Copies of this chain bind each other. A is one copy, B any other.
Amino acid sequence: MKPEDIKYGSDGLVPVVIQDADSGEVLMLAYGNEESMRLTLERGEMVFYSRSRKEIWHKGMTSGNRLPLASLQIDCDCDAVLARVRPTGPACHTGETSCFYRFIHGNDDDSPVFLGRLWAYLKKRSQDSTEESYTARLIAGPKSRVAQKIGEEGVETALAIATEDRGQTIYEAADLVYHLLVGLLASDLSPGEIWRELKKRHRAR
A residues with CB within 8 A of B: 1-3, 5-6, 15, 17, 19, 21-26, 28-29, 41, 69-77, 80-82, 84, 92-94, 96-97, 99-118, 120-122, 143-144, 146-148, 150-155, 157-159, 161-162, 164, 166, 169-171, 173-174, 176-178, 180, 183-184, 186-199, 201-202, 204-205
Contacts and interface: CB of A to CB of B under 8 A. Distances in A.
Contact of A103 (B1, B80, B121, B188): B1
Copies of this chain? 2
A77 B91 CA distance: 13
A100 B114 contact: no
Given A17-B26, A80-B29, A161-B143, A104 B150 contact: no
Residue from A41, A151, A154, A176 with most neighbouring chain B CB atoms (10 Å): A154
A148 B158 contact: yes
Contact of A173 (B29, B75, B97, B180): B180
Nearest to A193: B170
A122 B205 CA distance: 12
B121 A147 contact: no
